[in-house]
Structure 1
Amino acid sequence: MKILNSKETTLKLIETADFYELIFTANSERKKYKGNKVELCAIVNAKSGICPEDCFFCAQSLRWKTHAPVYPLMDKNEILKKALDAKKHKVKRFSIVISGIKPSKQEMKKIAEAIETIAKNGINTCASLGLLNYDEISYLKDFGLQRLHCNIETSEEFFPKICTTHKFSDKVRTLEAAKKAGVSVCSGGVFGMGETWKDRVDMAYFLKEFNVDSVPLNFLTPIKGTPLENQPVVSPLEALRIIAIFRLILPQKDIRICGGRPLLGEFASWIFLAGANALMTGDYLTTHGRSYIDDLKFIHDHGLEIDYVVS
């Protein structure tokens, strides 16, 4: 099985490939480019709820009645406390995440101070702050921001079906601004929202062409009150197939398993065999994940090592 380099070849492979052969090949590529190391990242939901956007999968939109937590931007010391706890558990990168289209000027100043404090404590810094421009990203970089996260979520064609208050092109402009500012880029999306395999492949090739550094893969956990509350979840085997296809399209990148990992159930232990080399550990934005201790044991039990190097 050859490494994938065209959408047509990829779609044909998805239709015809034996599942176990696909997994075997993806695992070989993971070991070739990433060895037996697993990188951990963690986040803090530093500002939650009352988002004016209408992303159909998100619990934090003020348009949906989800009972998600609502609170203003955390104090930098509270953010630092969470970052230090993550560092203690060998988390390589810590990200500040807020709800909303972007921070206010006052919030930007506070976030910059938090990033500076985190960086001074020897922790790799990341932020997910909505649709920032070049000047805003450059400002944060001056305070120690190393990576910007901004998911494209899905393909450009499918995007209007899961969000109408901003466009796929708005996401792309933020990614372009991050590249121009000279920070690392983390971008991926959510699977199980009703998209086709063509949408998934289009998304993967966009990320390949854009040359992102980290690709977070999330599997939709339908949340009551959102438009996708009754959406069928991705099956464990389909999730593994998605991971493998992304590894084969993006062989040298960090394929990071994030939200929805518990949906894999007993197949969660297969994510490394399917090509993943990175995990988000701890809790997600509005749903529970796995504890740091459980994930460290999970990785150790698979005979893998923690990639823990501060840049």
Structure 2
Amino acid sequence: MYGLADVYLGRSATSGVAARGNVINSGGMTTSYWGIGGVESLGGGQSATFAIEGFMRLDTGEQGRTPGEGLATRAAYVGLNGSWGATKIGRIPNPLFQASAALNPYGFSTRLSPLMTQMWIVPYGSSSAGDSGWSNAVHYTSPVVHGFNAVVQYGLGEHAANSPGNNKVALLKYTGSALSAAVAAQDIGYGIGISNAAPSQRTYFAGAAYDFKVVKAYAGFARNTQEGSGRTTRTTHLGLSMPHGAGRWLLAWARAQEHSFARAPFRRDTAAAGYDYNLSLRTDVYASYLYDKISTAADGNTVALGIRHKF
């Protein structure tokens, strides 16, 4: 068994949302989860693999990211690996979600990362539909050739009444000694953010990170277009990560510019600054500040002090 436990104490306020106050929440830097998995050698360089992973909330002891979520919504799949690449079938993490996490200094943080909150979290606009994982999905990852590899994933909507389409994503990645980059195209036809009134969404994403040793720089851009509502969002992201002592300083900013048939154009600026300190190889503590401002609403300020442990 493996997983990650992350909990923080702080004060939370989001621009345009009335609710604000002192909180103890799960998943400040990474959404807490548990998992079981394994690999079996099949000979000839082939192997079979499986993973069953679920989210959990340390502040309440409940399963899932939200009340009512299923037991294993982080991942639940079986797959095959070989020199030809890797395949999976089941509920599979979204490659676009993983790429956006890899190319910002706050990583998978959906509470403190400006890019991740704006792209994936509803109170911050959730510009990207489809969630961090897809049910009823088939996945393929190609072998790495000169640092490049491709990922494609297809999810079946199975004719759900409120989201009749299917999901598709294609991703090209490059990983070198200093440079990491990715470009992706996603078409969502079922899941979070999809309804009969807004039956599909397309997203294009490009991001990169370069490690200068004394500082690591990040940049990214995403464009989302929703059918039906006319909602279009353009998100720009910049970030820095600077090693210091046993930890690193984190700085990040994202701006989303949005318009739709039902709402006048507006923009959202979200910025974060923090420090993540490693107590050991598996445990770190962090302190971070998040500023959030919609052009048509009062600002919001979030402060978090937390601890994260991998097991």
Same fold (TM over 0.5): no
- Which has the larger Rg? 2
The higher-RCO structure (CA 8 Å, 6+ apart) is 1
Which structure shows the higher strand fraction? Answer: 2
Relative to the length of structure 2, the TM-score reads 0.32
